[in-house]
Structure 1
Amino acid sequence: MAHNRCSGSLTSPRVDVLVDTGNTFLDHTVDGFLKIGAVAATRAAAEETFQCLGRGEFPKHKLEDTLKRMFREGACWGTVAGVYVGMERGIERIRGTRDWKSAMLSGALSGALISAATNNGRDKVVMHTITGGAIATAAEFLNCLT
């Protein structure tokens, strides 16, 4: 019986933004803000473009709304990423090691801080703390697979 194989590799593009404030902690935080903020803005633009293509029109006021949404989502996602990256670097520095525990702690603290800052109730803060820790831990484990 004949077998056919197909092999190849897929690599993701690497985007490096040089941010030099003279403080490596702040550099990593700003870098996380910019990268994830750009992802969120691109996502918002893609969604709006898809909706306009589906309707078959792209009115001028929709362009203004799209730009506002891109800015708003970029700033929101970027802030969350900046808080997480800052927490992660700080915890790694305090613990002296970079592992899944640092990711879990920084995700949990970031989730709690962001949730508390948005005036969520105590139950929501706890849920966001757990979710932040779980997502960060999962992401760290996925990074170890590659």
Structure 2
Amino acid sequence: MPRSRFSGAFASPSVDVIIDMGNPFLNRTVDGFLKIGTVGASRVAAEETYHCIRKGSISSHKVEQTLKKMCKEGAYWGTVAGVYVGMEYGMERVRGTRDWKNALLGGAITGALISAASSNHGDKVIVDAITGGAIATAAEFLNYLT
């Protein structure tokens, strides 16, 4: 019986924004802010486009409201990503090694900082730190698999 095989490779597209701030820490932080901020803004654009198509109408007020929401979400997502990338890089520099523990520590610190900045207190900050560390570590392990 004849058999066939599929062989190939899949590579995700790479988008590099080169901004030289004169410091590797700042370069990575700004790069993370811009890339993930763009993702956050794009998510809002896609969601609002869907709602306009479903509703069947669009107004200048809705466009203005969508642009404001895109800026707000892009800034929020970008800030979280910038803080995380900066913390992970800082952990790498402090520890002198590049491994999954940097992601864990960077995610935990980022989760705690973002939570505290959102006026959360006590247990909520700790839970957010644990969540940030877990998500960052899981993402790092997934990167090792690919």
- What amino acid is the match of 1:21? M
Q: Which residue of 2 aligns with 1:79?
A: 79
Deviates more, 1:132-141 or 1:113-122: 113-122
Q: Which residue of 2 aligns with 1:45?
A: 45
Give the distance between the partners of 2:33 and 2:139, measured in 1 at CA.
17
- What amino acid is the match of 1:78? G
Q: Which residue of 2 aligns with 1:144?
A: 144
Q: Which residue of 2 aligns with 1:28?
A: 28
Give the distance between the partners of 2:13 and 2:65, measured in 1 at CA.
29
- TM (normalized to structure 1)? 0.95
**Residue 62 of structure 1 pairs with residue 82 of structure 2:** no
Aligned residue pair count: 146
Give the distance between the partners of 2:9 and 2:30, measured in 1 at CA.
31
- What amino acid is the match of 1:86? G
Identity within the alignment, % = 66
Give the distance between the partners of 2:75 and 2:110, measured in 1 at CA.
16
User: Cα deviation per residue 1:73-92 (whole Å; 9 max; x = unaligned)?
Assistant: 00000000010011011110
**Residue 128 of structure 1 pairs with residue 131 of structure 2:** no
Q: Which residue of 1 aligns with 2:90?
A: 90
User: Cα deviation per residue 1:95-134 (whole Å; 9 max; x = unaligned)?
Assistant: 0011011110010011001101111121110110000000
Give the distance between the partners of 2:105 and 2:121, measured in 1 at CA.
21
Gaps of 5+ in 2: none
**CA RMSD across the alignment:** 1.1
- TM (normalized to structure 2)? 0.95
Q: Which residue of 1 aligns with 2:12?
A: 12
- What amino acid is the match of 2:48? E
Give the distance between the partners of 1:11 and 1:55, measured in 2 at CA.
37
TM-superposed deviation, 1:18: 0.5
TM-superposed deviation, 1:10: 2.5
